[in-house]
Chain A
Amino acid sequence: MTAVAEPRPDVRASSVFLALLRRDMRVARRDLPFFLLRTTMQPLMFVVVFGYLLPKMGFLDGRYTTALLPGVLAVSLALSSIQSVALPMVQDFGWTREIEDRLLAPVPIWLVAAEKIFAGVVQGVIAAVFVLPIARLIMGPIEFLSFANVGVVLFITVLGAAAFSALGLFLGTAISPQQIGLMFGVIVAPMIFFGCAYYPWQGLSAVPVMKYAVLVNPLVYVAEGMRAALTPGAPHMSLPVVIAALIVITAVFWTLGMRSFMRRALG
């Protein structure tokens, strides 16, 4: 028996990050059907009602689907990224304390939070990829829909997912478990309805106060960015503005989320 332990080689942070990610992906894969139901049911039902039934009944112009499709993708992205980060955080820090094991890994603690955000991005992208063909199928041909800018679509999807995952980290660590229901009612629901997902931002010119008030809402930029990429022929916000706004929003939520995470993680 030696009194002083011999030095050990440092564990590579990248290999720990990958292990954390593998863990989240395995859990996500098992939970996939429920995850998709939970995060895409609401936007898809919206598609059925507003993208199929109402146009069919003649209450809505069929061209509305042009505005709706990118918005529905943005909403799926928001719901899935926020939930896949926030819900486990609330549970872990609230009562199960399961995350303790990962917080004892020999890497800086912020890496555990960064991995959560990354996993949230992956799940957001999966939800968006799942919703796109189904929505297109339900709504039928969509005017101005173009897949010429697949790279831009993907870029906006990833950037949007990063913004919402970082928001999820902040919400999941700042909100107490008892108030998780409130999070959906008071934060997520208004964000979705005032996020220009179900109508283009330009349409809000009819209500100028709203047009500028909604600019604090991250969903606006994701929905408008999706419009710029998927239906470039229809009215949309300029792409550089969208990208700049999303980068700023992601940075702000990342900072707030990290701070809140560290506070919860270091008792």
Chain B
Amino acid sequence: MLGPNGAGKSTTIGVLTTRIRPTSGRALVAGADVATESVRVRQRIGVVPQRPNADLSLNVLENLQFHSAYFGIPMAVSTQRAHELLARLGLSDKKAATVEQLSGGQQQRLMIVRALMHEPDIIFLDEPTVGLDPQARLDLWEILRDLHRGGRTIVMTTHYMDEADRLCDRLAIIDEGRLLALDTPRSLKSKAPGETLLELVLDGDASIAVEKSRAIAGLSRVEARDTTLRAYSAAGGRPLPAFIEAAESSGRTVKDIRLLQPSLETLFVSLTGRKLT
């Protein structure tokens, strides 16, 4: 699920993981209704929260043992499984560590281990890479690919375009609580406007320059949004000088210029009228 902050991604995850009561409509997870069969849903899912929320009163191994006990898994089984998973995610030497002794990336991995302890069919991750350093982010991608290869369904949210593009089989673009598009990243990209998106950030309301810009040859769909003036070009950056001239002769100063090649991002902008971050 790709969308800007406030798009409704976490709320959707919250509803699907039975943590937020839906105000209307119906949602099924693995065939069970989140509102009326929430216990059955919880049995099937593993959840990796946006912000690590391990039990601070327990150490790493105890966190995993107790989590498993909440799912009725006997201690002998869970201890064995915890050791295997900790090793797989590179946390073997942290078994006896307190949660506070772990780095942000390690805590995130602990959350993944915890979500896997009861062998869920579906794993939900809410913006799992926010706050991770670039290396930890790449490591996490590898872990997720690995889990996916193992046959698990992974539902995740992100507001990073590249993450969505590289990790997902199916990508939902959502904004303001609405599903705007749902398809493979490849097919979505093919739906992106086949033109270059030109953006000028001005020092004031951009609508004043729309009229003049529409007269420029090679520009289409000129629109203003606050201080941003936006248009699509079939000829790459060629109309840019005229575009800038149109803005400046309307009495505005150009403060920033951006060119975006056809991508998920231009698709996103064309669907929502705004950028991701």
Closest chain A CB from B130 CB (angstroms): 15
* CA of A72 to CA of B66, assembled, Å: 36
Question: Do B53 and A267 touch across chains, with their CB atoms under 8 A apart?
Answer: no
| Contact residues in B for A30 (Cβ distance below 8 Å) | 57
Question: Do B70 and A102 touch across chains, with their CB atoms under 8 A apart?
Answer: yes
* CA of A81 to CA of B58, assembled, Å: 22
| Contact residues in A for B19 (Cβ distance below 8 Å) | 100, 103-104, 265-267
CB of B210 within 8 Å of the partner chain: no
Question: Do B30 and A101 touch across chains, with their CB atoms under 8 A apart?
Answer: no
* CA of A102 to CA of B43, assembled, Å: 12
| Contact residues in B for A106 (Cβ distance below 8 Å) | 39-40, 42-43, 70-72
Question: Do A20 and B70 touch across chains, with their CB atoms under 8 A apart?
Answer: yes
In the complex, which residue of chain A has the Cβ closest to the Cβ of B11?
A267
Q: Mark B65-100, 1 if CB is under 8 A from A, else 0.
A: 011011110000000000000000000000000000
Select the residue from A1, A10, A101 with max chain B CB neighbours within 10 A.
A101
Partner of A101, one of B14, B20, B53, B121: B53
Closest chain B CB from A56 CB (angstroms): 42
Question: Do A105 and B42 touch across chains, with their CB atoms under 8 A apart?
Answer: yes
CB of B47 within 8 Å of the partner chain: yes
Closest chain A CB from B107 CB (angstroms): 12
Q: Mark A105-118, 1 if CB is under 8 A from B, else 0.
A: 11111000000000
Partner of A96, one of B42, B56, B70: B56
Binds B, one of A11-19, A36-44, A215-223: A11-19
* CA of A100 to CA of B14, assembled, Å: 11
| Contact residues in A for B47 (Cβ distance below 8 Å) | 100, 104
CB of A63 within 8 Å of the partner chain: no
CB of B25 within 8 Å of the partner chain: no
CB of B55 within 8 Å of the partner chain: yes
| Contact residues in B for A266 (Cβ distance below 8 Å) | 19-21
- Which parts of B30-53 form the interface with A (CB within 8 Å)? 30-31, 38-40, 42-45, 47, 49, 51, 53
Question: Do A97 and B53 touch across chains, with their CB atoms under 8 A apart?
Answer: yes
| Contact residues in A for B30 (Cβ distance below 8 Å) | 4-5
Size range of the interface on A? 20 to 34
Question: Do B69 and A19 touch across chains, with their CB atoms under 8 A apart?
Answer: yes
Question: Do B58 and A23 touch across chains, with their CB atoms under 8 A apart?
Answer: yes
| Contact residues in B for A98 (Cβ distance below 8 Å) | 53-57
Question: Do B72 and A101 touch across chains, with their CB atoms under 8 A apart?
Answer: no
Question: Do B40 and A96 touch across chains, with their CB atoms under 8 A apart?
Answer: no
CB of B228 within 8 Å of the partner chain: no
| Contact residues in A for B45 (Cβ distance below 8 Å) | 104
Closest chain A CB from B77 CB (angstroms): 13
* CA of A245 to CA of B92, assembled, Å: 54
In the complex, which residue of chain A has the Cβ closest to the Cβ of B63?
A101
- Given A8-B44, A100-B53, A267-B20, decide whether A19 and B66 contact each other with a Cβ distance below 8 A: yes
| Contact residues in A for B72 (Cβ distance below 8 Å) | 11-12, 15-16, 19, 106
Question: Do A107 and B66 touch across chains, with their CB atoms under 8 A apart?
Answer: no
Question: Do B71 and A105 touch across chains, with their CB atoms under 8 A apart?
Answer: yes
Given A98-B56, A266-B21, 11 other A-B contacts at CB below 8 A? Answer: A15-B69, A16-B69, A16-B71, A19-B72, A31-B57, A96-B53, A100-B47, A100-B53, A101-B55, A106-B43, A109-B38
**Residues of chain A having any CB pair with chain B under 8 Å:** 1, 4-5, 8, 10-12, 15-16, 19-20, 22-23, 26-27, 30-31, 96-98, 100-109, 265-267
Can you name 17 A-B pairs with beta carbons within 8 Å?
A: A8-B43, A8-B44, A16-B69, A16-B72, A19-B66, A19-B72, A22-B69, A30-B57, A97-B51, A100-B47, A101-B55, A101-B67, A104-B17, A104-B18, A104-B47, A266-B19, A267-B20
